[in-house]
């Protein structure tokens, strides 16, 4: 941060007598024109300079004359370049997108900055950001383009499969690894639900998440979840209850049929079969016959 001065407050000094004094009077360095010599500060020669934009600042002579990282303006040049960069990438829309860019930044930190405390739940567990969203500068742009603007300020970024990566589903890395688009904007409520319905459940030697089981069993994920809670998380009871729905198809021994259909095939009263299915697994209920 360079302090700006008022032209009326400037106090000039005479040049020192010694030969090595580097007189830069009237010279111009990029946007900065030398107004005059202020004097010495900590043995450094300090000069007043006026920027093309009108601001007056003071600097040590080497700050403007050095070859690398020289000061080129009062600070206006950097601000212009920064806003140009943002505009170029479509990020400088007041009130919008800047927040999305920040969300992208914290996602990157969670996965790649081992110094932050969230890292242990993400990067340390092998959660990655895919190539398209990870690359410098454009990663952020791609991320925003793929997800669109955040619908409301209550929304944040959510992984659809909570064990998956932050992946776009279409870049080289995603295609190679078979990663699907795994992100969406979601409210905290939706995210918590997502976490609950992503619980992995093993049933009949098959492991799927709760949401997938719910889909297979043609029952709402929330219904299945409340059923699991009611049955003290006894998976068999919870997963097999949906089959008691009218006309629900039951899959058994690689075949699919309705309860009535199965009763017919097994030559048993549908009511009996239904009753058995209430307290037993499908196998047990069918084998008993
Ligand atoms: Zn300036
Ligand atoms: Zn990708």
Average pLDDT estimate for 3-30: 88
Residue pLDDT, tens place only, 48-82: 999 999 999 999 988 998 888 899 999 888 888 87
> Whose atoms come closest to the Cα of 135: which ligand?
2
By percentage, how much of the chain surpasses pLDDT 70?
A: 89
Q: How far is the CA of 108 from the centre of ligand 2 (A)?
A: 14
Q: Which helix (H) or strand (E) holds 52?
A: none
Q: What Å distances lie between residue 40 and 7, 14, 23, 47, 103, CA to CA?
A: 19, 11, 13, 9, 46
Ligand nearest to C-alpha 78:
1
Q: How far is the CA of 86 from the centre of ligand 1 (A)?
A: 20
- Ligand number nearest CA of 165 is 2
Distance 2 CA to ligand 1 centre (A): 10
Q: pTM of the prediction?
A: 0.47
Q: How many CB atoms lie within 10 A of CB 115?
A: 6
Distance of CA 51 from the midpoint of ligand 1 (Å)? 5
Count CA atoms within 13 Å of residue 234 on its CB side. Answer: 10
- The model's pLDDT over 249-272, given as tens digits with 9 standing for 90+, comes to 777 777 888 888 888 888 888 888
The residue ranges of every structural domain in the chain are 2-74, 78-191, 200-240, 249-287
pLDDT in tens, 142-187: 998 899 888 988 899 999 888 899 999 999 999 999 999 999 999 8
Q: Are strands 200-203 and 206-209 parallel, antiparallel or unpaired?
A: antiparallel
What is the dihedral angle through the alpha carbons of 154, 157, 161, 163, rounded to the nearest 10 degrees? Answer: -120
Mean pLDDT of 274-286: 77
Ligand 1 centroid, distance to 73 Cα (angstroms): 5
pLDDT at 281 over 80: no
| Model confidence pLDDT, tens digit, residues 230-244 | 776 677 767 665 545
Query: Around ion ligand 1, which residues have CB less than 5 A away?
Result: 51, 53, 55, 73-74, 76
């Amino acid at each position: 941060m360079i302090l700006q001065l008022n032209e009326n407050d400037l106090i000039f000094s005479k040049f020192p007598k010694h030969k090595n004094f580097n007189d830069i009077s009237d010279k111009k360095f990029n946007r900065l024109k030398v107004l005059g010599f202020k004097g010495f500060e900590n043995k450094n020669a300090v000069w007043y300079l006026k920027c093309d934009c009108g601001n007056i600042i003071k600097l040590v002579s080497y700050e403007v004359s050095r070859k690398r990282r020289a000061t080129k303006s009062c600070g206006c040049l950097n601000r212009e370049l920064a806003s140009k960069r943002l505009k170029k990438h479509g990020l400088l829309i007041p009130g919008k997108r800047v927040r999305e860019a920040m969300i992208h930044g914290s996602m990157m930190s969670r996965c790649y900055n081992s110094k932050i405390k969230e890292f242990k739940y993400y990067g340390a567990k092998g959660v990655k950001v895919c190539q398209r969203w990870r690359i410098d500068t454009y990663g952020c742009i791609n991320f925003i383009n793929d997800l669109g603007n955040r619908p409301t300020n209550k929304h944040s970024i959510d992984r659809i499969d909570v064990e998956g990566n932050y992946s776009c589903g279409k870049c080289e890395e995603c295609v190679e690894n078979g990663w699907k688009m795994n992100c969406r904007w979601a409210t905290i409520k939706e995210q918590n639900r997502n976490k609950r319905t992503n619980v992995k459940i093993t049933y009949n030697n098959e492991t799927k998440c709760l949401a997938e089981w719910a889909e297979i069993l043609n029952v709402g994920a929330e219904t299945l979840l409340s059923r699991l809670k009611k049955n003290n998380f006894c998976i068999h009871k919870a997963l097999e209850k949906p089959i008691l729905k009218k006309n629900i198809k039951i899959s058994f021994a690689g075949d699919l049929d309705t309860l009535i259909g199965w009763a017919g095939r097994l030559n048993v009263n549908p009511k009996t079969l239904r009753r058995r299915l209430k307290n037993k697994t499908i196998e047990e209920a069918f084998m008993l016959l």
